Amino acid sequence: MTTTFPTIAKLLAKLDALTAPAAPELAVEIAPGRIAVARREGAGVRAHVAGLSAGAVQPSAVKQNLSDPDSIATHLRQALAAVGGGESAAVLLVPDLTARLSVLEFESLPAKREELEPLARFRLRKSLPFGEEQAVVSCQMLSPTRLLVAFGERARLDEYEDCLAAAGAHAATVLPSGLTCLAADPALEHGALLLRAEPGCLTSAFCWQGRIEFYRALEISTPGGKPTFDDVFPSVAYFRDRIEQAPEASGGGWLLYTAGLPEELRARLREEVPWATVRPAQLAAAQATGATAEQLLAVTGALQGRFL
């Protein structure tokens, strides 16, 4: 099965309403410990979250991710039925440690788009954890010197796509789940740092005037896979440096937008980072019994259509 990432130019631009593609109707996230499904329903969103057994999903760029794909497909089929989304095309969201994003710096970039992927592959060739011939790569210019690159190993992405197909739907596109979180709340478009913790992973990202400025997925190896202040602080420090250097940054109002962080870590951030407001994820558009905003952040963000 062939997987292609969407054109990342469309991740970065606010498209005119007359030319924008139709927003997706269905989004599916397969994550450690859960499946989240959301479907557009009129002006709102109908969502469903189902739990998975511990170890059923073990995100990795190079190792098998799904230990029992048949069981996951069964839960996924039930989740799709709960939102009326069976046999549909879906935006498929996979863990950030499986499909990754990187912002690369160059002295200059070629003007021709077809020259960007070979350049990205050349830069990444020594750091890819798998063979270059197995890499699925998509890239787009952020500026004349900065390149956003999405990449993953074809076999790992196929695991998730095959599981979705076994549940009766199919993937129209595949994205890292942390990326779509950036579209879930207008507050994340400018002046807010997303700090999202999933078991074994901390994703830090922020946009500046609607454009992705920084994105980092850090593997967490501590017991329980929960991030510490030392894991979070480098991204917070970089975020502050960036806003202090921006001439348009006066006025403050900066936000640390948290999802999945332990309460003790949020409390320390409030103490150590007085120049920003620490706020947990909030969603008004989606309702699902027993589900939290943190669990629905990625799928509701995907339904905004900014990533297709």
Strand order in the sheet with 146-153: 100-105, 146-153, 135-143
Tens digits of residue pLDDT in 196-214: 999 999 999 999 888 888 9
As a dihedral over the C-alpha atoms of residue 188, residue 161, residue 221, residue 55, rounded to 10 degrees, the angle is 120
Tens digits of residue pLDDT in 76-118: 999 999 998 777 899 999 999 998 888 888 888 888 888 888 8
Residue 47 contacts residue 286 (beta carbons within 8 Å): yes
Tens digits of residue pLDDT in 138-183: 777 878 888 888 888 999 999 999 999 999 999 998 889 999 999 9
Backbone angles phi, psi at 101, to 5 degrees: -120, 150
Domains of the chain: 1-99+151-184+283-308 (3.30.420.40), 100-150 (3.30.1490), 187-280 (3.30.420)
Question: What kind and span of H or E run contains 70?
Answer: helix 69-82
**Rounded Cα distance, 199 and 77, in Å:** 24
Is the entire prediction scored with pTM above 0.75?
yes
Helix (H, G, I), strand (E, B) or coil at 178: helix
Sign of CA dihedral 72, 75, 80, 83: negative
